[in-house]
Amino acid sequence: MFTLPNEQTLYGALVARDAAYDGVFFAAVRTTRIFCRPTCAAKKPRRRNVEYFATARDALHAGYRPCRRCRPMDMHRRPPAWVKELMERVDRAPGGRLRDEDLRVLAIEPARARRYFKEHYGMTFHAYHRARRLGLALAEVRRGQDLNAVGLRHGFDSASGFRDAFARLFDKPPGNGRAIDCLRAGWLDTPLGAMLAVAGDEGVCLLEFVDRRSFEAQVAALRRRLGAAIVPGDNEWLERLSDELARYLLGTLREFTVPLMRIGTPFQRKVCERLTRIPYGATLSYARLAEDIGRPGAQRAVGRANGDNRIAIVIPCHRVVRSDGSLCGYGGGLWRKRWLLDLERGQGRVGA
C-alpha cells in the first residue's frame, strides 16, 4: 500500500504549490469541506485545518467535495506522458512483453506504473497488458487459428504458459474458446471524473464512476451474472458510447442511441425502462416512479432498484428526486447529480 510522505513535507508542498506532488496527494480543508490539488491557487489554509489523502476517491468518501478552482477530479483527464507512452506501446505491439527491466529502460519505475494502473484502471500494468494480449488471443482462437501459434504470437513463452494464463482469465482452456463470452472494457475521462464502460456483442452493460464505493462489487457481480471475462479493449458499442457521452456532457446530445444489455430482476428492468422515458431536463419523484410501474407505495424498492442501476447517465437515474424536488440517493455523489441536472436544465456546468 502506498504511504504518503510525512505531514511536514505535505504541508510544505501545499504552501509551495509544488507541481511535483500533483497526483501524489490531495489536500482537504476541514473548515470548508473542500479538497484541492497541491498546486491550487486558492489561499492556503492553516496547517491544523488540513487533512491529506492519497486519492480523490478517498477524499470524496471522507465527505469532502472537489474544489471548483483547481478541479481535482480532472487530474487525469489526459494520462501523464509516461502512461500515454506505455499505452501506445501496448497498442502498437499488444502481443509483446514489457517486463520491469523494460520499464526501467524507459525511465519508468515499475512500482509507480503498478500504482497508477491499479488506481485508474483497476489492475496493475502487467495485468492490463496480459489481459489485452489474452483478449486478442481469444479473438484468434474463435477464428479457429492454431493454439500454439496464437500463444507464441501474443508473447507467451510456451503452450502450457498460454493455456494456464488463458484458463485463469476465462475459466476455460483455449480449446473451448469459441464458447467463451468476453466483455470489453474501456476507461472514459469525463468532467465528472473517470468512468469504466463495459460492453459485449449486444450492447453496453456497465457505465460507472470508478470512485463509487460499490464500484468493485458491481464489476464482480457483472462478471458473475454474465459468466464472462472482462478484458481491456474496444468494440463498436464502446466507441459509440464514448462519442455520445462526450456530446451529452457538452450539452449537444439529449438522447442516447447506443444499445444496452438490460441485466437484473424483472422489477429492476421495469424500473430502468421507466427511467429511460424521463425526458431530458425533467425529473420524476420516487413515488410517481413507483406508481408508473404499477407498484404504488413501493418507493423504497424503487430507490434500491435505482441505486442498482449499472449504466449511469445513459439510464438516467439522476433524474429521480424526492417528492418535494430535493436531491437524494445518487451512488456517484449528490454533487454529480446536481451537475447533471444543471446541465440538462441549461444552467451551465457546475465546477467539478
CATH topology of domain 182-249: Double Stranded RNA Binding Domain (3.30.160)
Residues 6 or more apart whose CB falls under 8 angstroms from that of 343 comprise 249, 251, 349
Q: pTM above 0.95?
A: no
Residues in the chain predicted with pLDDT less than 50, given as ranges, are 1, 76, 348-352
Residue 117 to residues 71, 87, 147, 208, 230, Cα–Cα distance (Å): 21, 11, 29, 17, 16
Q: Taking a C-beta distance cutoff of 8 angstroms, is the pair 82, 106 a contact?
A: yes
Catalytic residue among 67, 182, 272, 317: 317
CATH topology of domain 266-344: Arc Repressor Mutant, subunit A (1.10.10)
pLDDT the model gives residue 193: 79
Residues 6 or more apart whose CB falls under 8 angstroms from that of 108 comprise 82, 86
pLDDT the model gives residue 352: 34
Residues 6 or more apart whose CB falls under 8 angstroms from that of 147 comprise 141, 159, 162, 163, 174, 175
Domains 81-179 and 182-249 agree in fold: no
pLDDT the model gives residue 77: 53
CATH topology of domain 7-74: DNA Methylphosphotriester Repair Domain (3.40.10)
Q: Where are the domains of the chain?
A: 7-74, 81-179, 182-249, 266-344
The span from the CA of 224 to the CA of 218, in Å, is 10
40 an active-site residue? no
Task: For residue 320, give the H/E element and its range.
Answer: strand 320-321
DSSP states of 190-252 as a string? ETTEEEEEEE-SS-EEEEEETTSTTHHHHHHHHHHHHT-EEEE---HHHHHHHHHHHHHHTT-
Residues 6 or more apart whose CB falls under 8 angstroms from that of 330 comprise 317, 318, 336, 337
Q: pLDDT tens digits for 12-22?
A: 999 999 877 77
pLDDT the model gives residue 54: 84
pLDDT the model gives residue 12: 92
Q: pLDDT tens digits for 181-206?
A: 678 888 888 878 778 899 988 999 99
CATH number of 81-179: 1.10.10.60
Catalytic residue among 36, 40, 70, 272: 36
